[in-house]
Amino acid sequence: MQRLAVEQRRKKFEKDGFIVVEDLLTPTELRGLKRRVAQIGNGKLKHVPEDRFEVEPAVASGKVKAKSGIESLRKINNLTDYDEVFLATAKNPKILDVVEELLGPNIMVFGDQFFVKPAKIGVEKPYHQDHAYFFVEPKNIVTCWIALEDATVENGCLHFIPGSHRVGLIDHSEKWMVGDREDMQVPESAIDLSKEVAAPLKSGSASFHHSMILHKSGPNKSPHPRWGWAISYMSSDSTWAGPPGKKPKYRLVRGKAFRGKV
């Protein structure tokens, strides 16, 4: 990409807290990922531990009987820790080049989540800032969210509040129940919904968002699944800020590591 375009993209990310990059992955790359995740979700490949899978609430409660393993899932956590195809994609230079523009040359994978959001039953994820869940400093993690299927307003694409990454960490004390698991959300009174923008994506396109931006995804009310894979990256000179001794082993994917840092 030309220097000017790169500079414009960086400025847009600084101002809004997210950018969209069209056609990041090719149809062949997408097909490989889709085949692989279906094999994992349907139990044909068994190398991803069970505790990485989260079942969609309507299926977990017995209200809906899913037609296949993958269609029963809300998400799969940390595929890059177990699966070579997803790990290779997390190292794809087309992704890392954009991340480098936003974070600098030394990059580690912080974590990843594959969101299934199955047709008709996928629940919403209410407004939150990712960094409310992330224990590293500075609060500057970039998530690449790749659409494996078209993500639309009807099937629950991401929505952002542009510029909200610049206001600091907001209170997440409101309870949000995902089935019987308690999670958290930002109270609606703390969100300027007049600024909300939807970020629909064609399959193969991706958004890159800052870990402090307020964002949500809607429920999937459509007959189409909304598969999206979110890989979060941090600069390798970040510092662990969680409980001592609990730091996960992070993977360097570009540049160099620093002693005493993550």
Ligand X SMILES: O=C(O)CCC(=O)C(=O)O
- Residue 179 or 255: the one with the smaller Cβ distance to ligand X is 179
Interacting residue with ligand X among 125, 139, 159, 210 (CB under 6 A): 125
Q: Does the footprint of ligand X cover residue 115 (CB under 6 A)?
A: yes
Between 29 and 130, name the residue whose CB sits nearer to ligand X: 130
CA dist., res. 16 & res. 154, Å (int): 24
Q: How many positions of this chain bind ligand X (CB under 6 A)?
A: 10
C-alpha distance from residue 233 to each of 78, 121, 166, 176 (Å): 13, 30, 19, 26
Cα 190 to chain centroid, rounded: 23
Q: Are 161 and 169 in contact (CB under 8 A)?
A: no
Residue with tokens 């600098």: 104
The reply to whether 140 sits near ligand X by the rule CB under 6 A is no
> Minimum CB separation from ligand X for residue 81, in Å?
17
Question: CA 199, 172, 138, 232 torsion: positive or negative?
Answer: negative
User: Which helix (H) or strand (E) covers residue 42, if one does?
Assistant: none
Q: List binders of ligand X among 143-202 (CB under 6 A).
A: 143, 145
83: contact with ligand X by CB under 6 A: no
- Restricted to residues 191-230, the positions that interact with ligand X (CB under 6 A) are 215, 217, 228, 230
Where along the sequence are the contacts to ligand X (CB under 6 A)?
A: 115, 117, 125, 130, 143, 145, 215, 217, 228, 230
